[in-house]
């Protein structure tokens, strides 16, 4: 990332960053072909550690030394989703869930987990299964009870895969669905993928007033806030509040309730594509 972006994420001016780089060697930027400095997630992690130690009472020089010596493991590789799943796992899972057979659905999942990364399973099995369940419910070939059973199964497994997503040293993302919005699974999938590329996730869940999101943001100072929803018109009712939020924070909108035009009107970014691809796009 360029220095301006790093400065915005960390909340330290570009002048100070340049000074720290010169004086303490805490940053090791790469260069573009045009010789512009480009900072990595590891640079960001070092800075965050340095700032933490400065706040803890160390001198900047000492804090920089500790941060420079620290070892970080940030997974900045593209997510392991290439290739995709071409098995019949999705249909087997839908069939098991339609007959309320949780054990059989779990067995399908367990087998997949032996051989595929979570993000592949989410993108190529969970999301299509949810789509199919929804379509079949709309067509009347699945009843509400089956739809709820299937959604709850996937919801709980997604939350299981999400455990520990607040750990690490990467930038923080604050995720929530606005008031009245219950469709949270796309957002959880997005958080799981984002964590895999190094971010730390704070998840407030469905039906969260935008004021509560602002309150949490003031406490955790996220580098990004993502609001997501599936119900058409879901963001419009809270448009003014979202605009206020975007005046202070980097805000992005995702899910079917968002569009590039709406996001622009709310001074937010629009996250296009499915949650996994959208998370991946934040690498660049």
Nearest residue (CB) to ligand B12, 170 versus 229: 229
Neighbours of 99 (CB within 10 A): 10
Query: Of the listed pieces 9-17, 37-45, 95-103, 248-256, which binds ligand B12 according to CB under 6 A?
Result: 248-256
Question: Which of 2, 60, 117, 180 touches ligand B12 by CB under 6 A?
Answer: 180
Query: By CB under 6 A, is residue 130 in contact with ligand B12?
Result: yes
Residue with tokens 């550690």: 49
What distance in Å separates the CA atoms of residue 99 and residue 121, rounded to the nearest whole number? 21
User: Sign of the CA dihedral 18, 23, 24, 27?
Assistant: positive
Query: By CB under 6 A, is residue 131 in contact with ligand B12?
Result: yes
Name every residue whose Cβ is closer than 8 Å to that of residue 102 and which is 6 or more positions away in sequence: 96, 153
What distance in Å separates the CA atoms of residue 222 and residue 173, rounded to the nearest whole number? 5
* CA torsion, ordered 160, 226, 27, 33, to nearest 10 deg: 110
Query: By CB under 6 A, is residue 251 in contact with ligand B12?
Result: no
Residue with tokens 């949270």: 184
Nearest residue (CB) to ligand B12, 26 versus 278: 278
200-208 and 172-178 strand pairing:
parallel
Min separation Cβ 94 and ligand B12, Å: 12
Q: Please, are residues 31 and 38 in contact by the beta-carbon 8 Å criterion?
A: yes
Nearest residue (CB) to ligand B12, 3 versus 185: 185
Query: By CB under 6 A, is residue 218 in contact with ligand B12?
Result: no
Min separation Cβ 137 and ligand B12, Å: 6
Query: By CB under 6 A, is residue 256 in contact with ligand B12?
Result: yes
Min separation Cβ 140 and ligand B12, Å: 12
Question: Which of 37, 46, 172, 183 touches ligand B12 by CB under 6 A?
Answer: 183
Query: By CB under 6 A, is residue 155 in contact with ligand B12?
Result: yes
Query: By CB under 6 A, is residue 151 in contact with ligand B12?
Result: yes
Neighbours of 43 (CB within 10 A): 23
Min separation Cβ 253 and ligand B12, Å: 8
What distance in Å separates the CA atoms of residue 153 and residue 61, rounded to the nearest whole number? 51
Q: Where along the sequence are the contacts to ligand B12 (CB under 6 A)?
A: 127, 130-131, 133-135, 138, 147-148, 151, 155, 180-187, 189-190, 226, 228, 230-232, 254-256, 271, 274-275, 278
């Amino acid at each position: 990332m360029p220095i301006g972006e790093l400065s915005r994420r960390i909340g330290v001016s570009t002048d100070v960053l340049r000074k720290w780089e010169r004086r303490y060697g805490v940053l090791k930027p790469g260069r573009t072909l045009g010789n512009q400095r480009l900072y990595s997630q590891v640079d960001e992690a070092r800075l965050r550690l340095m700032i933490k130690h400065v706040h803890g009472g160390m001198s900047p020089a000492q804090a920089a030394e500790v941060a420079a010596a620290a070892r970080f493991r940030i997974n900045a590789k593209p997510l392991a989703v290439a290739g995709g799943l071409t098995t019949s796992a999705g249909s087997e899972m839908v069939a098991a869930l339609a007959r309320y057979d949780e054990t059989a659905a779990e067995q399908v999942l367990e087998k997949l987990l032996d051989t595929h990364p979570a993000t592949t399973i989410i993108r190529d099995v969970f999301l299509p299964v949810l789509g199919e369940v929804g379509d079949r419910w709309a067509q009347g070939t699945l009843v509400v009870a089956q739809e709820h059973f299937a959604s709850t199964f996937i919801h709980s497994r997604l939350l299981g895969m999400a455990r520990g997503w607040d750990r690490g040293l990467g930038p923080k993302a604050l995720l929530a669905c606005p008031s009245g919005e219950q469709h949270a699974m796309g957002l959880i999938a997005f958080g799981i993928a984002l964590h895999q590329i190094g971010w730390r996730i704070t998840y407030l869940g469905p039906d969260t007033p935008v004021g509560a999101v602002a309150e949490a943001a003031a406490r955790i100072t996220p580098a990004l806030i993502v609001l997501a929803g599936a119900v058409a018109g879901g963001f419009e009712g809270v448009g003014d509040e979202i605009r206020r939020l975007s005046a202070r924070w980097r805000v992005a909108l995702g899910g079917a309730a968002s569009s590039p035009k709406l996001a622009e009107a709310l001074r937010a970014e629009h996250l296009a594509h499915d949650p996994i691809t959208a998370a991946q796009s934040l690498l660049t």
